[in-house]
Structure 1
Amino acid sequence: MYHVLIAEDEMMFRMMLKSTVNWAKLNMKVVSDVSNGADGWTAYQQVKPDIVITDLRMPVMDGLDFIVKIRESDEQQSKIVVLTCLDDFDMVRTALKYGVSDYILKLTMTPDEIDSVLNRLVKELEKEGRTIQTDAQMEWDRDVQKEILIKDYLFRRRYFVEEFTGKAEELQLRLQPSKGIAGVMMEIDHFELLQEKFKDLKGQIIKMSLLNVLEEIMSGFRRGESIHDSDSRYFILANCAKVEELFPLLEHIKKVMKTYFNMTVTFGISSLHIGFERLKSVYTECSTALEQKFFRGLGTLNEYKTSDSKDSHLSSYLLNGGDQDWLTSDSRRKILYDKLRQIGGFRSEERQQVIWLFMQGLHRITYSLRLTGDAVSELVYTYTELMAKSETLEELFAFFEAFVEEIHRLRSRNQMSKEVSRVMEWMEEHYKESVDLHQAAEKVNLSYNHLSMLFKKEAGISFSDYLQQIRIEKAKELLLKSDKKLYDIMEEAGFTDQSYFSRLFKKVVGVRPSEFKKSWAKEV
């Protein structure tokens, strides 16, 4: 493979360049990447690259001085590509005198342009009869092989511990099984925002960029290995005598991610283990520790702690249905929020329990305020989706408060007459009975037709549809809160025909009553 050296002081740009080019396809390999000309010159003397890609403006030694040193040494054997900005053309003209092959504008650079330049250099090297330098690992980069090895051992059961130990020695893993090993699961907070920033929906550019950054940091600290775990997660393994020794490393990673990618990351940290046979426990523990992010917030360091065998206060609170007054009272909601913040001993499944409580709250608050119509349904759907994706407790609170504000704004635009409000209250009290619009009209001293038009205008749906909505909501509540038989639930909700009830429930909710109960049971 033709060897490439990259000199660029902006870490993010350097990592992007390493990650976006398909070097293997070009029969190339990046053998060194540095942040200034002085380090570039040291690396150049060691690796003797075929191609040098260098920025012009760099600290310690700029790109122009770096190029001069190269040309004094190799008599124009290496191909040089200059990375430049619009205001660097005086330096570019000077660089061209030293046999620079091409230059690329950093602000307008595209992957196609880079490929075009590099393909032309390959043809020049081939025409000159330059032999391709041999590489014992031509097909796979060492870092890729390390990731495959760790994943094969952790997830695919491909190796016994002795075999893994031998392979680890071959690949020179920066891990010693005889010393303490701790694991860290790093998660990118709000990963979708980073995808939008990079315009990388598949996440491949982000993955390669972050792995390169982590490798650079781990090498600098001379400890441990890092691999990609899932879309937004990266798994780090490192030797240490106690877990606290890793905190400076993690704080440095946080700082780098914020500085170069403008993002925060959250960590889950395992306890200390001895021996490669404990790596699976290490992985499980740091994954479990990361789940505390929901309750402790973004950008936190969360250490693994053994869970209490007893139910936590939170489980007991939620299983008892919480305090229903919190739905429509600002002060009661504040009390609930403070209580959830203060409760300790969270278990992993309790994140879903809390989210479920607030999702139910969306439906209950619209019901208690007697709000209906397409606008309300769309609002409930939108905020249900947002809350399901909440990464922290504070985000969940914020989404619910935003929903309450929207609902009250909607309600203020659609104030109901006292007649329709009285009818709704009466329906909620007598939904189990055989109520109809004639009875309702008599209660408020209006004619049948007048009430029918007024109700639909103010509620957004007809009298009969609103009655069905009340009954379906009651049925949903009974399905989730009791173990009663479907027939009994149907009667308590005001239905008399089980077949009709089942059809209507599926039409309104989207699934049959039994499926609804099972789906919520899985969430909780």
Structure 2
Amino acid sequence: MRILVVEDEELLRQGLINMIERMKLPCSVVASSADGEDALEQLSYIGIDLIITDIRMPKKDGLQLLGEVALLYLEIRSIILSGYDDFVYARQAMKLKCMDYLLKPFIYSELYELLDKISQDIITDQAKIVAAFRQKGILNQNQYFIRHEFLRKFIHRIKIPQIDSLIAEAEQIGIALRATHYFVIVIQFEDKQRIQRNYEKNDWTLMKYAVHNVIEEMMGYSPCFYDEEEFLVVLSTDVREMDQLLKICSEMQVKINELFKLVVSIGVSNIHEIASISNGYKEAKKVLKYRLISDGNVIIPFQNVSAFKTSSVKMLLDPLADLFELDDAEIVQQRLKEWYESLKKEELSWESIDTIEKELKVVFPALLRHFAKELGNDSPYAQLGSEIEIIEYSDSFYTRMHPILKMLKAISTHTKKGKIESRTSDQVMKYMKEHFRENITLTSISEHIYMNSAYLSVMFKRKTGKSIIEVLTEIRMEEAKRLLLDSDYKTYQIAEMIGYKDAAYFSNAFKKYHSLSPKEFRKLNHR
């Protein structure tokens, strides 16, 4: 079971992820997000079985997120986490097919039992689909593979000199090739990496067989087979109008998603005589390249893109080269998004897209590694294996960009956080220098800064390398040293002047700091 955790508080988010990983259940957190908007973007390219989300978040809250998920991703389950014991929220969440509603701080055992139940439900559902088709069985398994092997060879033939004998051979093994003209439809499964992780090899073979049967039936038992790359190829004979064919393709997408929770893109060739059917197959496969410049699954007929001309790939890629010279992560994010939007507007030929894809397999990982250095070796991005895999194998340039955009967002957040921490540290230093003569404490300082004292303490030490108390003591001890050298005040008077009510405590602190008591220090430095 693949889990997405959505929680805007970083410590809680990481704590939840760590807790789930300790459970040793058949599940893993494959993605996380600080808000609903980013979570939705990740769902466009990462396969998820379960969302665990907070309710109160910036941009899109948990209920808004689940509302959109309920419309777009019917198969995804969800759990709501909230610090608000509010029945209204629980009722809204349940309407959105939420599996359960847990209050923060949640109990380990409750979350464990819930995740265990959901993971078992998912395993059971997948097993039911596979079992249903296993029970039906392939009555003539050999014939099934013989037909596929015949059609694979048939579709690659550039010239078919003896049409009649080939049609007769096909008929002997149950393939009807009676029509003179065909559209070729090529169906591509989205997110193949996730599919391979979710299914054992035998189960995936059965699932493919199930999809094949459904599509074959929808297409009136037209010739239908898998090619060497697991594209499902259909030779459409009954449909003569492109609009009608595209409508059927749309129905295929919906049916495959409803029955098998799989997403597909579809390429459609022009109509071809049976003797030149291989050209139609090439057209339909080529047109699927245009999935690379789309934000989601597509249906594309070859006639829509056949007139597109080859563009200057160098001109299209030059803006990416310029990104290596920029220092501001937010500007790089903006430029990268603008580059992608401008690329979508280009009427690119298949050759141009193919060349761009090859170049981006070098440029995108280089950009990722270049900016990863900004976060250092201790960041979650120190190891880039999964991000590189997304860049290499995702279904579109949009999803391949996402690891880079996420990296840039992390850098931007890190930079802003650093600036905020610097400003806060400066405020603390200023306040201590102005008020060290008073009886100030960590609590009084945090109240003045309007910040949680525990967080302020950790943040200040991370930024300065010293605790607030250590710095306050330094300020007081330096002032004590000055007063001992430049005045005749008694030790107890100096103690009071720098914020200590207890003279003995001050003397001990001074000796610890300067290795001399106040009296010894004054005597040694007396002029």
TM interval, shorter chain, is 0.3 to 0.5
When the two structures are superposed, what TM-score results if normalisation uses the length of structure 1?
0.46
When the two structures are superposed, what TM-score results if normalisation uses the length of structure 2?
0.46
